[in-house]
């Protein structure tokens, strides 16, 4: 995986923030006070308690038998963990109570908005990304393993405490990752069913092909990693206490809908067509979506292009969304 060093956290280069390949940035947040707290009395948990308010967070609790790997139960009717809303300081207490356990129960708090959970934290620990209007979140737990998944936004993830191993694969490896249900998901995103730590190649033989293209990096406190939009990423926390801060942002207008909606609609309306009709629609999708450029509608007067005008502005998008909803509600 490509690595950078010596990057100023207050002047992040554009080629990093717009990269289409993953990038490790060593030492990017090493000077954050929370990172320096790793060597202070009480460590990072004591530092965090300065900011804890009364907000509750969504926590996942799993038995020691899952070995930190959160996922489905055997028949996919549910999960191998329980979700609870708890105070953040209670999470810290539980992690401390089991820190010395050889096989602790698994505990994981993911994608929690920092400003809600730890007000004032970002005044001391932050990156200069305001121009991107990112969502800043924290992730805390013990030796949790997050199944490989994709995220629509670009992601800059900063390791604050503990070590993490990231395994990244390009988007087109989807067919080799044995993805679980699209709707019944752990946390909103479909995930790979493969246990990256102990892959069952008899059950998932094509995963061996995916591994040939895997990019792996182990990050220490102070390091960061840029994960481009839609790259598959499996994240393994390696220590009894781990904390990560990440920033998410989209490089598309806020009025654009999620492409997942288009995928689900295509499954509903295109996938089960007779082969010849499906091929015809593949040609239309290629022409109007995947291969679309300035020439697609240049034969039409501007006023007649309507949805073919690119890019769509907010008003056109809202009008098109209303039209789609009317068609679906017929």
Read off the CATH number of the domain in which 152 is found: 2.60.120.10
Are 270 and 243 in a shared domain? no
In this prediction, residues 76-89 reach a mean pLDDT of 96
Are 287 and 201 in a shared domain? no
Specify if 118 maps to a domain.
yes
Are 155 and 292 in a shared domain? no
| pTM attached to this predicted model | 0.94
Residues 67 and 45: their CA atoms lie apart, in Å, by: 23
Residue ending a domain, choose from 214, 231, 249: 249
The range of the structural domain enclosing residue 187 comes to: 2-249
Specify if 226 maps to a domain.
yes
Output the pLDDT for position 322: 93
Output the pLDDT for position 128: 94
Are 93 and 210 in a shared domain? yes
Are 175 and 301 in a shared domain? no
Residue ending a domain, choose from 189, 215, 249: 249
Are 265 and 245 in a shared domain? no
Total number of domains in the chain: 2
Are 145 and 179 in a shared domain? yes
Cβ–Cβ < 8 Å for 88, 57: yes
Are 180 and 283 in a shared domain? no
Are 291 and 224 in a shared domain? no
**37: helix, strand or coil:** helix
Q: How confident is the model at residue 134 (pLDDT cuts 50, 70, 90)?
A: very high
Specify if 73 maps to a domain.
yes
Q: Flag whether pLDDT at 176 surpasses 90.
A: yes
Are 99 and 209 in a shared domain? yes
Q: How confident is the model at residue 330 (pLDDT cuts 50, 70, 90)?
A: confident
Residue ending a domain, choose from 249, 277, 292: 249
Are 7 and 86 in a shared domain? yes
Residue 68: closest CA among 200, 204, 197: 197
Residue pLDDT, tens place only, 20-54: 999 999 999 999 999 999 999 999 999 999 999 88
Are 166 and 44 in a shared domain? yes
Q: Tokens in use for 189? A: 């995103």
Exposure pattern of 48-84 as b/e (b: 16+ CB <10 Å)? beebbeeeebebbebeeebebbbbbeeeeeebbbeee
Specify if 297 maps to a domain.
yes
Specify if 211 maps to a domain.
yes
Specify if 234 maps to a domain.
yes
Specify if 254 maps to a domain.
no
């Amino acid at each position: 995986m490509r690595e950078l060093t010596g990057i100023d956290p207050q002047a992040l280069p554009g080629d990093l923030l717009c990269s289409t390949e993953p990038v490790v940035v060593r030492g990017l947040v090493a000077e954050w006070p929370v990172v320096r707290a790793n060597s202070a009395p009480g460590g990072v948990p004591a530092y965090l308690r300065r900011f804890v308010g009364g907000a509750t967070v969504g926590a996942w609790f799993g038995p020691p038998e899952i070995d930190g790997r959160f996922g489905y139960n055997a028949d996919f009717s549910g999960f191998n963990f329980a979700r609870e809303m708890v105070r953040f300081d209670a999470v810290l207490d539980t992690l401390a109570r089991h820190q010395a356990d050889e096989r602790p129960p698994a505990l994981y708090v993911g994608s929690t908005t920092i400003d809600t959970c730890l007000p004032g934290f970002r005044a001391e620990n932050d990156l200069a990304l305001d121009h991107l209007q990112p969502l800043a979140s924290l992730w805390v737990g013990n030796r949790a393993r997050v199944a490989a998944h994709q995220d629509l936004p670009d992601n800059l993830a900063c390791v604050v405490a503990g070590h993490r191993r990231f395994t990244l694969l390009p988007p087109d490896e989807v067919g080799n990752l044995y993805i679980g249900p699209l709707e019944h998901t752990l946390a909103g995103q479909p995930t790979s069913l493969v246990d990256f730590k102990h892959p069952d190649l008899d059950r998932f033989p094509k995963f061996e092909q995916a591994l040939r293209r895997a990019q792996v990096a182990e990050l220490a406190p102070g390091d960061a990693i840029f994960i481009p939009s839609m790259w598959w990423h499996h994240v393994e926390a390696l220590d009894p206490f781990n904390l990560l801060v990440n920033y998410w942002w989209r490089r598309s207008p806020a009025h654009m809908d999620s492409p997942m909606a288009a995928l689900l609609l295509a499954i509903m309306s295109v996938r089960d067509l007779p082969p010849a009709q499906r091929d015809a629609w593949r040609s239309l999708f290629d022409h109007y979506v995947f291969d679309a450029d300035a020439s697609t509608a240049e034969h039409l007067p501007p006023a007649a292009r309507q949805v073919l005008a690119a890019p769509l502005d907010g008003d056109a998008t809202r009008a098109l969304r209303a039209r789609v909803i009317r068609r679906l509600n017929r």
